[in-house]
Structures are given as structure tokens and as C-alpha cells.
């Protein structure tokens, strides 16, 4: 809040703090009336009898709709009280969702209904409010029409925003909600101004989620295998930008995964360059130069970029430009013609507007002729590309190009000001690319040093939305999944104005998570600070003397085991476990009186430091022999689409699992010819830390190789953080394997889906 107030004062605007302290508002009660036939639901100018009452809805005039029924053909239609449900906050305009069909007892059709609320304000003010309608709407304040739109959509309270010019005293808000089909609703939401502390907490939770989504090979799974390195490069970049140490295990493992195989896609290479440049380490300069050379070589004849195969588009071009800009910040020389040519390729993707004016509203299209037309994400991309080209050329830009670029950016910003939305990627009502759109807004805000887009304080509004919409596990997601990339884009947006690092590396300091049991009078308080090792201590109840403290730990549902004895000040200790993940820890204190007192249980997310095998896992796919020998896989059963072929796709993002009723699961792998083999590697399914405690694991297998008549029995590493390595006799050759699962942990065979992520031969 202090940062927002300082920013507002520097711009000569009333700060959120000033507004909150100076103005008090009361909204409601609400009333509803209808339904009214609305034959053409796309016509927002169709008049209804309610609008005759607008003349009575004047500022500073008492008018209660419940006392003013509407006369229709000799009869009266009554206004009814309306109460919204599930408000998203406790501010004046957080009124909840109005289910109009339920309130009126009406079946949805081509109809309209009206909502009225009285707003009482202690002084004249102009609050920004957000709202959404299902479907169209018209909005009046004190008899004056302020906004209207007709569109088939659900009622998202961040769909629209409007400035309400409230007078001191009484104001009247009237909203017509037009129904085109399906549900019929309206919701209003106050502008959600969040504090810096809330933003930092949201970033920290998001970073923890990204940590928990990393796979055993150091990668993140979104859009694999099409973009092998894309999500991983984006995640590493996001972690670094969020304050994570370059020496953090997650960063080191991610970098090793990227190093093991070069990016072959424009998106991936661009993100890779941004991540490497953020490290600001001269040891990575050769890597940066190599990837920058790749991008430069992929630039098309028209100056834009494709995947690099296929048709060029502004999305690929934006990431190429972001990557090359990052490379220049590390001293890489990018030829001027690269920046000059991209201007030409980008300008042809801006829509054409025939009307003439000083400022026209012109968005950008994915590529010229694409059927979606101009969208928010592509308009922000086009603006960002041109801003980077102008920045990089500096005085080398020709007057003609500078004039064209300046005008194109001005027109693009005007389009965004008109279409700005926190409910969707503007002009993409299908919900696609929403978080990508927000990241685009953050980029142009930074590149152009903008605090507002039109009347929208884009960061304040976006941060309020993101903090409010973050899932309990710290994530954001698209309707189709994409947890990794959506959460990264949300974090990159929030991080723009974060004053301090969200998290740090594995070293213990004030930014590491401090766990503590709930405060209870007379209770033994247990404190734990994250790290490797964990640091634990206790605070005894007042007026008690402790002689000894013992610490106990367990994995969920496992027996408790004593793991340490407290010593020194506050009976502190350090705790290390062989397996990372969620651990339950408690302390038991023996008091001088002889009584024994237990603390509450703390659940702690324990992470080990980087291990040699962690870095080795990142490049195992490069050494895996199976894909080159055209494997054929047979399995006893499969759960859904988790087929046996996923065992040999050389990616940890997928897995095979047997059906839950398979009491004797098995798999077979046949190769076209024998392969020299030193070892076999088996990886448990579900290698994300987020999933470790939710699925059973394979404990024992029987393995047949080639023409074995009898199997060899193996006990596996039961932690998904570790691969099981089966060392083979010298000069072994394999063209057939059969594995039968004999024992599992965390479930029962015949009742549980269990399997492997990958089988590898090295």
C-alpha cells in the first residue's frame, strides 16, 4: 500500500490511502424488476418501461424502488429485493452474484431485467468498479447512461470496468441485464487494491508451486514434447526474476536440463536467453551467443519469426525479440538489420482502420489475414516488438521508420485502452491466452514506462485480480491446464513492482519459511525454519522448566520415529532426512516436574540440496538407448490414456499406469535388435513433488531379460525423487525385457493404479 500511495503522489493522483481515509460509501439495498421481452437481445437501445423512472433517479434525491411499482397497461409490476451471493470481498461494491432467473422466478429467454441500488457517498468521488453481465448490459448513474455492451458470455466480475462520477450524498445506479440464452446473471466488484505484503505472499506461494511442479529430470511439463525446453526455460527465468538464488537446486537442475539439448523452437530459445541473461554470469556467454545466433538465423525474409518452421506470427516474433534484447544486455552484438527488418514484418500485422483521426485505435493480429483478428495478447506483442526495435536501434533508426513505429505504438495503446479487460484476453472470449495477455501488459508497461493504459492503472488492477484469483496451492491455470506457464506469467506480472525478494536459495536467512504451531495458552510451541538442514526449537509455556526435548518425524501415515535430541538454547536441533517432500514433525518436552508435554504437529516441506544424481537425471534422456531401437511395448492394462508407449517416450512428463483392478500388472519392451547395455533405469510415476504423497509406488519387481526362464527380483527406490539403477554384467546386450510388479507401497495391487514414468537403458 505504501508503494502504491507513493506512486500516486508522484503522478499527482489521489492515492489509495487518501481515498480510503477520505471517502465513505454505502451501496444498496439492491432491487430487481422484470422480466421484459427483448426480441433482439443484441439491441442495447431497445427501450423498456423502467426507463421512464430514470427521471426520478436523480442525484441527492431519495427514491426507493420498492415504493414505486411500475404501471403497465393498468396493472402494476413490483420491484423485488435482490441479494447477491458469494461476494469476493467486503468493500462497498463487492455485492456478490445476482442470479436473475432465480430472483425473478423466470425462465431464461430473450428478456431483460433491471437492477437498482442506492449509493450514498460522504463526498463527490469517482471510484472505478468492475462488473460482468450474462449477457449484455446497459448502465446508468443518476439517470445518465454511462456504458453498454451486448455479447454472449458468462458473468465474470472483471469483464467490464467503469468510472462512477458519484455526487456527495445519494446516487442511483440502474443496470439493465439482457439475456441472450443460457444463464442470466450480474456481478459487481470493487477495485481490489492489494498491499505489497499481499503481493509478496502471492509471489512466494506461486514460487513454491513452481518448485513443486518440477519433474525429476529438472524440467517442467507444459507443452512437452512439442516445446522440449520452453516451459523449463520460462520457469527458470520466472524463479530468478522472483528472487530465487541462481544456486537454488531447482534453478541448477533446470539449467542442466536446458544445457543437455539445445532449443529448437523460437519460443524456447527466447525464454532460454532471458533466463541465461538474468543470471548475469560471464560463464554463460558462449551459451547465450550460440542461442542468439540460432534466433538470428531463423528470422524470416519479412523480418518476423516462425516456430521456426511454418507460418510467421507476432507471438513467435515477440519471444525472439525478448530473447535477443536479453542477449544484448550481456554484450552480444545483434546486427542492426535484425531490428530494422522486424519493424517491417510487424507493421503489416497491424489492423487497418479507415476512419481518419489524430489517434486511431488499431490492434495487432497474429499474422495478416488470421481469422481471429486483433486481440489483446497480439496487440501487446506488436507494441513490445516495435518498442524493442526502437530501443535497440536508438539513433540508427531512420526518421521514416521512427514515425511509423511511434504512430503504430500510439494506435496500439489506444486500442488496448478501449479493450482492456481482466476477464479475458481482449477479443478472445474463449478464455485462451489470458495469462499470456497479462504478461504482455507487463512487458509494454515496462518497455514504455507506462503506469496507465488509458484510464486503467494496469498494475494495480492486475495485481488485485491475480492476488484474489490465486488458487490455495499457489497456482494460476488456464481452463485446459497449463499450470506451469500460467503461473509463470502471473508471477512475472506481479514481480514488476515487488520491493524485496520473494524467496532465496537454500541458505537459512530471514526470507526462509518459518513454521510455528498455533498459539495456545499453556502449550509447547514448536518452531521450524526451512533449509537443508531444517532448524527446529521449542518455546515452553510460561513458568515451566524443561529438562529434555525429543523430536519425532514421519512421512504421512507412517510410524513416528525419534530423529533428534534438543540441545543448548531453546533445545534447538538440526534435522535432515533422506527423502525430500512433506514431513510431519513434533516435539516432546520432559518438564522438571516430571510431566511430559507434546507440541502440535507441523507439516514441513523439506528439500535437500543439489545432489550429483539430480544433475545427471537432467541429461539421462540424451544417453537413453531405447528410442533409437524402435521399441514395441505391451502392458497388462492401462489407466485412461496412460499407455505403455509413455514408458519409452524419453520424457518424464508422462507415465504408464495400470488399471485399478489389475492385480498382477506387467509390461514388456521389445527392441528391433540387441543394444549394448550397462544399466537399466526405472523411474516411478508422478515425479513432481506436488504429487508424491498422493499416489502409490512400486516397491518390488520381477525382471526377465532376453530369454530368461526365471526372473531376478529387485527392491526399488520407493521415492519418486530417485531412480532405481539396475547394474548389468559386463558386455550385456538386451532386446527384450519383461517386468512384473509384485509389491507396492501406499496401496494394494488390484485396487490401485501404479506404474512407471520411464524405462531407460544406458
Instruction: With a cut of 60, say whether residue 153 has pLDDT above it.
Output: yes
For the chain, helix (H) and strand (E) counts, in that order, are 16, 28
B/e letters for 660-677, b = 16+ CB within 10 Å, e = fewer, are: eebeebbbbbebeeebeb
**Has domain 514-606 been given CATH number 2.60.40.10?**
yes
Q: What is the CATH number of domain 624-761?
A: 2.60.120.260
314-328 and 266-279 are packed helices; what angle lies between their axes, rounded to 10 degrees? 20
What is the mean pLDDT of the segment spanning 654-665? 95
The yes-or-no answer to whether 22-190 and 624-761 have a common fold is yes
What is the mean pLDDT of the segment spanning 79-105? 91
Q: What is the distance between the alpha carbons of residues 279 and 94, in angstroms, rounded to a whole number? A: 43
Q: What is the CATH number of domain 196-497?
A: 1.50.10.20
Look up residue 550 and give its three cell numbers: 525429543
Confidence of residue 619 (pLDDT cuts 50, 70, 90): confident
Is residue 453 classed as helix, strand or coil in its secondary structure?
strand
691 φ/ψ angles, rounded to the nearest 5 degrees: -105, -5
Instruction: Give pLDDT, residue 496.
Output: 80
What is the mean pLDDT of the segment spanning 459-470? 90
Instruction: Give pLDDT, residue 22.
Output: 66
Q: What percent of the chain has pLDDT over 90?
A: 66
269 φ/ψ angles, rounded to the nearest 5 degrees: -65, -40
Tell me if 734 sits within 8 A of 725, measured CB to CB. Answer: no
Instruction: With a cut of 50, say whether residue 7 has pLDDT above it.
Output: no
540 φ/ψ angles, rounded to the nearest 5 degrees: -75, 165
What is the mean pLDDT of the segment spanning 630-643? 95
Q: Where are the beta strands (DSSP E) in 142-218?
A: 144-149, 160-163, 169-179, 185-190
Look up residue 39 and give its three cell numbers: 426480441
Instruction: With a cut of 50, say whether residue 2 has pLDDT above it.
Output: no
Tell me if 388 sits within 8 A of 328, measured CB to CB. Answer: no
- Could you say which of 3.30.70, 2.60.120, 2.170.120, 2.60.40 is the CATH number of the domain covering 22-190? 2.60.120
> Picking from 403-412, 530-539, 712-721, which range would have the lowest pLDDT averaged per residue?
530-539
DSSP 503: -
What is the mean pLDDT of the segment spanning 464-470? 90
Q: Which residue has the higher pLDDT, 515 or 96?
A: 96
Based on the number of CB atoms within 10 Å of its own CB, is 192 exposed (0-12), middle (13-18) or buried (19 or more)? buried
Report the relative pairing of strands 128-134 and 525-529 from DSSP bridges. Answer: unpaired
Instruction: Give pLDDT, residue 390.
Output: 97
Instruction: Give pLDDT, residue 428.
Output: 82
Confidence of residue 474 (pLDDT cuts 50, 70, 90): very high
Q: For residue range 315-343, list pLDDT tens digits in order.
A: 999 999 999 999 999 999 999 999 999 99
Confidence of residue 8 (pLDDT cuts 50, 70, 90): very low
Q: What is the DSSP annotation of 378-439?
A: HHHHHHHHHHHHHHHHGGGS-HHHHHHHHHHHHHHHHHHHHH--SSSBTTBTT-TTHHHHHH
Report the relative pairing of strands 525-529 and 534-539 from DSSP bridges. Answer: antiparallel
Nearest to 334, CA basis, from 388, 381, 280, 380: 388
DSSP 661: T
Please provide the average confidence, as pLDDT, over all residues in the chain.
89
Q: Where are the beta strands (DSSP E) in 337-475?
A: none
Rg over CA atoms, the chain:
31
Q: What is the distance between the alpha carbons of residues 386 and 660, in angstroms, rounded to a whole number? A: 55
Residues in the chain: 762
Instruction: With a cut of 90, say whether residue 353 has pLDDT above it.
Output: no
Q: What is the distance between the alpha carbons of residues 175 and 585, in angstroms, rounded to a whole number? A: 55
Q: What is the distance between the alpha carbons of residues 10 and 8, in angstroms, rounded to a whole number? A: 5
In the chain, % helix, strand, coil (3-state, to 5) comes to: 30, 30, 40
Is residue 734 classed as helix, strand or coil in its secondary structure?
strand
Q: What is the distance between the alpha carbons of residues 457 and 651, in angstroms, rounded to a whole number? A: 42
Q: Please give the helix or strand (H or E) that residue 631 lies within, else none.
A: none
Instruction: With a cut of 90, say whether residue 431 has pLDDT above it.
Output: no
Q: What is the dihedral of CA 137, 141, 143, 144, to 10 degrees?
A: -80
- List CB contacts of 708: < 8 A, sequence separation 6 or more: none
Instruction: With a cut of 80, say whether residue 502 has pLDDT above it.
Output: no
Q: Please give the helix or strand (H or E) that residue 634 lies within, else none.
A: strand 632-635
Q: What is the distance between the alpha carbons of residues 233 and 384, in angstroms, rounded to a whole number? A: 20
Q: What is the distance between the alpha carbons of residues 414 and 47, in angstroms, rounded to a whole number? A: 31
Q: Where are the beta strands (DSSP E) in 517-642?
A: 525-529, 534-539, 546-554, 561-565, 573-575, 581-591, 596-598, 602-606, 632-635
Instruction: Give pLDDT, residue 359.
Output: 60
Instruction: With a cut of 60, say whether residue 5 has pLDDT above it.
Output: no
Instruction: Give pLDDT, residue 354.
Output: 63
Q: For residue range 707-753, list pLDDT tens digits in order.
A: 999 999 999 988 888 999 999 999 999 999 999 999 999 999 999 99
Other beta carbons less than 10 A from residue 476's beta carbon: 24
Q: What percent of the chain has pLDDT over 70?
A: 93
| Beta bridge pairs of residue 539 | 525
Instruction: Give pLDDT, residue 72.
Output: 86
> Picking from 173-182, 497-506, 587-596, 630-639, which range would have the lowest pLDDT averaged per residue?
497-506
> Picking from 159-168, 399-408, 697-706, which range would have the lowest pLDDT averaged per residue?
159-168
Tell me if 139 sits within 8 A of 147, measured CB to CB. Answer: yes
Instruction: Give pLDDT, residue 477.
Output: 86
Instruction: Give pLDDT, residue 9.
Output: 27
Based on the number of CB atoms within 10 Å of its own CB, is 400 exposed (0-12), middle (13-18) or buried (19 or more)? exposed
- List CB contacts of 737: < 8 A, sequence separation 6 or more: 668, 669, 680, 703, 704, 705, 759
> Picking from 228-232, 358-362, 629-633, which range would have the lowest pLDDT averaged per residue?
358-362
Confidence of residue 605 (pLDDT cuts 50, 70, 90): confident
DSSP 524: P
Q: What is the distance between the alpha carbons of residues 81 and 115, in angstroms, rounded to a whole number? A: 10
> Picking from 21-25, 408-412, 435-439, 552-556, which range would have the lowest pLDDT averaged per residue?
21-25
Q: What is the distance between the alpha carbons of residues 63 and 720, in angstroms, rounded to a whole number? A: 66
The structural domains of the chain, with segments of one domain joined by +, span 22-190, 196-497, 514-606, 624-761
Amino acid at each position: 500500500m505504501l508503494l502504491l500511495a507513493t506512486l500516486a503522489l508522484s503522478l499527482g493522483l489521489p492515492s489509495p490511502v487518501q481515498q480510503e481515509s477520505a471517502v465513505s460509501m454505502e451501496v444498496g439495498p439492491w432491487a430487481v424488476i422484470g422480466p421484459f421481452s427483448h426480441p433482439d437481445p443484441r439491441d442495447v437501445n431497445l427501450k423498456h418501461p423502467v426507463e421512464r423512472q430514470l427521471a426520478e433517479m436523480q442525484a441527492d434525491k431519495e427514491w426507493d424502488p420498492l415504493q414505486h411499482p411500475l404501471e403497465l397497461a393498468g396493472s402494476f409490476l413490483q420491484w423485488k429485493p435482490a441479494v447477491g451471493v458469494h461476494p469476493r470481498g467486503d468493500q462497498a461494491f463487492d455485492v456478490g452474484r445476482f442470479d436473475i432467473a432465480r430472483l425473478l422466478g423466470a425462465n431464461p429467454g430473450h428478456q431483460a431485467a433491471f437492477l437498482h441500488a442506492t449509493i450514498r457517498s460522504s463526498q463527490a468521488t469517482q471510484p472505478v468498479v468492475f462488473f460482468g453481465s450474462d449477457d449484455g448490459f446497459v448502465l446508468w448513474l443518476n439517470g445518465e447512461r454511462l456504458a453498454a455492451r451486448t455479447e454472449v458470455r458468462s458473468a465474470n466480475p472483471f469483464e467490464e470496468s467503469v468510472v462512477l462520477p458519484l455526487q456527495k450524498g445519494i446516487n442511483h445506479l440502474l443496470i439493465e441485464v439482457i439475456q441472450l440464452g443460457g444463464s442470466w446473471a450480474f456481478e459487481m466488484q470493487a477495485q481490489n487494491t492489494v498491499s505489497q505484503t499481499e503481493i509478496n505472499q502471492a509471489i512466494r506461494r506461486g514460487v513454491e508451486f513452481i518448485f513443486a511442479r518440477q519433474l525429476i529430470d529438472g524440467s517442467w511439463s507444459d507443452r512437452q514434447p512439442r516445446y522440449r525446453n520452453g516451459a523449463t526455460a520460462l520457469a527458470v527465468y520466472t524463479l530468478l526474476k522472483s528472487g530465487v538464488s541462481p544456486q537454488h537446486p531447482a534453478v541448477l537442475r533446470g539449467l542442466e536440463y536446458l544445457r543437455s539439448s539445445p532449443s529448437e523452437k523460437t519460443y524456447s530459445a527466447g525464454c532460454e536467453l532471458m533466463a541465461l541473461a538474468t543470471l548475469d554470469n560471464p560463464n554463460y556467454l558462449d551459451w547465450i551467443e550460440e542461442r542468439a545466433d540460432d534466433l538470428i538465423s531463423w528470422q524470416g525474409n519479412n523480418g518476423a519469426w516462425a516456430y521456426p518452421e511454418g507460418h510467421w506470427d507476432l507471438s513467435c516474433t515477440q519471444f525472439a525479440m525478448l530473447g535477443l534484447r536479453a542477449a544484448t544486455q550481456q554484450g552480444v552484438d545483434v546486427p542492426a538489420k535484425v531490428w530494422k527488418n522486424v519493424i517491417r514484418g510487424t507493421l503489416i500485422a497491424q489492423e487497418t482502420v479507415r476512419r481518419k483521426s489524430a489517434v486511431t485505435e488499431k490492434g495487432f493480429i497474429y499474422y495478416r489475414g488470421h481469422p481471429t483478428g486483433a486481440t489483446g495478447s497480439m496487440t501487446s506483442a506488436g507494441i513490445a516488438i516495435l518498442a524493442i526495435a526502437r530501443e535497440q536501434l536508438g539513433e540508427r533508426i531512420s526518421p521514416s521508420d521512427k514515425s511509423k513505429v511511434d504512430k503504430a505504438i500510439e494506435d496500439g495503446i489506444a486500442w488496448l485502452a478501449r479493450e482492456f479487460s481482466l476477464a479475458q484476453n481482449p477479443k478472445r472470449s474463449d478464455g485462451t491466452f489470458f495469462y499470456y495477455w497479462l504478461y504482455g501488459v507487463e512487458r509494454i508497461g515496462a518497455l514504455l514506462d507506462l503506469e496507465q493504459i488509458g484510464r486503467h492503472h494496469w498494475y494495480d488492477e492486475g495485481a488485485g485480480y491475480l492476488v484474489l484469483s490465486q488458487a490455495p496451492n499457489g497456482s494460476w491455470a488456464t481452463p485446459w491446464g497449463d499450470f506451469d506457464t500460467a503461473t509463470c506469467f502471473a508471477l512475472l506480472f506481479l514481480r514488476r513492482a515487488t520491493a524485496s525478494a520473494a524467496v532465496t536459495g537454500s541458505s537459512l536467512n530471514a526470507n526462509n519459511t518459518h513454521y510455528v504451531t498455533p498459539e495456545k495458552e499453556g502449550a509447547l510451541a514448536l518452531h521450524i525454519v526451512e533449509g537443508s538442514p531444517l532448524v527446529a526449537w521449542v518455546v515452553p509455556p510460561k513458568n515451566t522448566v524443561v529438562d529434555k526435548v525429543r523430536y519425532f518425524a514421519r512421512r504421512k501415515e507412517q510410524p513416528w520415529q525419534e530423529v533428534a535430541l534438543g540441545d543448548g538454547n531453546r533445545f534447538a536441533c538440526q534435522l535432515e532426512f533422506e527423502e525430500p517432500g512433506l514431513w510431519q514433525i513434533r516435539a516432546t518436552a520432559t518438564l522438571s516436574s516430571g510431566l511430559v508435554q507434546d507440541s502440535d504437529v507441523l507439516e514441513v516441506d523439506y528439500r535437500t540440496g543439489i545432489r550429483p544424481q539430480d544433475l545427471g537425471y537432467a541429461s539421462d534422456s540424451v544417453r537413453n538407448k531405447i528410442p533409437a531401437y524402435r521399441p514395441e511395448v505391451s502392458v497388462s492394462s492401462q489407466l485412461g490414456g496412460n499407455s505403455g508407449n509413455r514408458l519409452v517416450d524419453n520424457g518424464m512428463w508422462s507415465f504408464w499406469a495400470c488399471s485399478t483392478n489389475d492385480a498382477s500388472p506387467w509390461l514388456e519392451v521389445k527392441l528391433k535388435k540387441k543394444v549394448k547395455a550397462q544399466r537399466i533405469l526405472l523411474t516411478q510415476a508422478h515425479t513432481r513433488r506436488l504429487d508424491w504423497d498422493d499416489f502409490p509406488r512400486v516397491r518390488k519387481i520381477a525382471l526377465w531379460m532376453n530369454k530368461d526362464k526365471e526372473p531376478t527380483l529387485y527392491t526399488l527406490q520407493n521415492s519418486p525423487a530417485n531412480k532405481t539403477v539396475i547394474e548389468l554384467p559386463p558386455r550385456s546386450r538386451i532386446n527384450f525385457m519383461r517386468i512384473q510388479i509384485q509389491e507396492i507401497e501406499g496401496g494394494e495391487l488390484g485396487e490401485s493404479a501404479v506404474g512407471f514414468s520411464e524405462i531407460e537403458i544406458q
